[in-house]
Amino acid sequence: MQIDNATEHDIKEIQSKLTELVDENPILESRVYSMDEQPTNAKIFEKLEAIERKLDLIFGGHVLINGQFKSLGG
- Buried residues in 50-69 as b, exposed as e (16+ CB within 10 A): eeeeeeeeeeeeeeeeeeee
Neighbours of 11 (CB within 10 A): 13
- Phi/psi of residue 56, nearest 5 degrees: -65, -40
Q: How far apart are CA 25 and CA 68, in angstroms?
A: 41
Q: What is the pLDDT of residues 28-69, one digit of tens each?
A: 988 777 766 677 788 889 999 999 999 888 888 787 788 887
pTM metric for this prediction: 0.42
Per residue in 3-38, pLDDT tens?
778 888 888 898 899 999 999 998 998 877 776 667
